[in-house]
Chain A
Amino acid sequence: MKYASLKKSDLNDWLKHLQKKAKLYAPRKKENLFVFRPVKEVEDVCLEYIPTILPPKKYYFPQKEKLLKFSSQPFKTAKAIEKFDEFILFGVHTCDIAGIQCMDVAFRDAPEDPNYLNRKDKMTIIGIECLKYCDEYANCTSMGNHVPRGGYDLMMVDIGEKFIIHINSEKGERLVTKLDYIKEASEADMNALERVREAKKKIFKEEFTAALPKVYDAFDKRFASDVWKDVGRRCVACGNCTAVCPTCYCFDTADDMELSLNEGIRYRIWNSCQMDDFAKVAGGEDFRKGRDGRQRHRYYRKFKYPVDKYNRYFCTGCGRCTRTCMADISLIETVNSLLKEEAL
């Protein structure tokens, strides 16, 4: 079976089924926004949502993750986590799936990061395709992530009364078979899917004023642009943009001693290139002073450096950095300003 169909009225039954298979995480409402949370009541799952405050990266790259257990006297070290549990990310937008793909690329690049890969091995991704824009901040079309591009086990598309489910892996297939309410998609279902996709083409338009290769060129040539000075002047260095980014993975390490002052754990904790001491060395020299240089670095880590290194853009188009920015710094505006400058 390649495509299955599920009536919306059976969704909650399926969620209950998934709950039994593994730890289930899905989007739900939090005040006026949305967050991924472990599913307790399936009724709380919300599939019509704008990108969650934090991307699901918190489940495969936790905010604070144990790296090792240690004792000083006698000197002992051990892995902090022996066993990782299976989990399902449910209702993931295609932009966030692109984010997971980016993280895979970075953490698989030798030397591998086993902490990340161990979690990733236990992850099942059930995506949902967006049929309209979440809001004006997203730039998913320019990034090519407004449509599914692999990287998931199952992908749901809302065709009205039903969801069409694209089965993309054996792991995914096992979650939709032997259930009487999930059937193979009929020809009519597939036609409906086709119509939905056609309609979508009229809604999603490229948000940047030029295609990605031009964006890359603009970044390549505009390192010294005044655009960065302007962004730096406005930045308050709150670090929101990097925390909410699905492809920001910088971290710091720290030791937490128990009260014995002998045993403890070493963990890693999200860190950000926007922080004051991020690039400062012991001798006191700060190699990336100033908010302009730090903001520029953040942008280059989406549109330039990973393209050189991995042949992949690390912006997913989710729009979170713009949505969360205290100072109204817009990614679309920044990129377009750069393109405009480059065109002059």
Chain B
Amino acid sequence: MLDREILLEKMRTTPYLPMKAKIIEAEMVTDKEKFFRIQLEDKLNLGHVPGQFVMVSIFGYTEAPISICSSPTDKGYFDLTVRNAGTFTNKLHQMEKGDILGIRGPFGKGFPVDNMFGYDIVIVAGGLGIVPLRSLIRYIMHNRNDFGNVQILLGCRSPKELLFEEETKEWMKRSEIKFNCTVDRADPDWKGNVGLITTLIPGVDINPTRTYGIVVGPPIMYKFVIGKLLEKKIPDHQIIVSLERRMRCGLGKCGHCQIEGVYVCQSGPVFTYSDLKNFKGECHEKAV
């Protein structure tokens, strides 16, 4: 059987049973974030779409939804980058290379990469938003000729919170991907932009009907960034977001992740702005 078939069969017959997975690399990448490289039992490929998430299990601590930050083109393993923000993630941070985790998934709808072929791409990442976007960026880099111009705008609070610094430098070196970074507060060594991420958007040169704008960041960021992209005349269905909600079962049953009638774990976490416009009031990220 193909890896994909094995995973789908598991999901169909025993959706609540986590698969065994081994941490093959673990490293603190900032003060608060830890990077994990994970291998499923029998070295199964996760076969995800960029933007999907997995449910990570630690027995005694239940589960948490974590975005996958590697590309499906990275074979034999997948990556997670996790902020220490609660009981579960605190325990996860204590785990090291060689330790075993449980994994269910991949879940949800990822970025519409098939529809994005041939288009220009503007990626806007705020803070931890770069984590799921790293999956997409790597995917684009591995299939570079399938996409038009690619620009990445990255914002975070301070330079020491900057994730994937080595990779970022590599992205910057690559002439075929434009990269721009800003911090809310600079430190003495910082030579880049200072200011909110929204300040970078007016300067971006795009052909709106041929462009996908992809936005991932903290809840507060969306409406402002979406507003700027709308000013640029990018069509609603080409503005793509990924929303954070409290995914618990991953099967569209338990109800925690619901925005109005929509289960984010199944219909999201990736949505188009056209989807967002249909929400009547429970979607904080919708532009005003």
Contact = CB atoms under 8 A, between A and B. Distances in A.
The answer to whether any beta carbons of A and B sit under 8 Å apart in the complex is yes
Interface of A: 67-68, 70-72, 75, 77-79, 106-107, 109, 111-115, 223-224, 249-255, 257, 261, 264, 266, 268, 271, 273, 278-283, 285, 287-288, 293, 297, 300-301, 304-306, 308-309
Interface in B255-273: 255-261, 266
Contacts of A75: 20, 100, 102
A223 B59 contact: no
A262 to B, nearest CB: 8
B-side binding surface: helix, strand, loop or mixed? Answer: loop
Contacts of A255: 59-62
Interface residues of B, number: 45
Contacts of A288: 282
A164 B169 CA distance: 79
Contacts of B253: 106-107, 113, 249, 251
Given A223-B280, A224-B281, A278-B256, A287 B17 contact: no
Given A253-B249, A266-B62, A287-B284, A68 B89 contact: no
Interface of B: 11-18, 20, 59-64, 83, 85-86, 88-89, 100, 102, 218-219, 244-246, 248-249, 251-261, 266, 280-282, 284
Contacts, number: 123
Contacts of B244: 281, 283, 285
A305 B260 contact: yes
Contacts of A308: 261
B60 A114 contact: no
B62 A254 contact: yes
A300 to B, nearest CB: 7
Contacts of B15: 111-114
B255 A287 contact: no
12 contacts: A70-B102, A75-B102, A77-B20, A111-B11, A251-B253, A253-B249, A266-B59, A273-B258, A282-B88, A285-B219, A305-B260, A305-B261
B252 A111 contact: yes
4 pairs of A and B residues whose beta carbons are closest in the complex: A305-B261, A250-B255, A223-B280, A67-B16
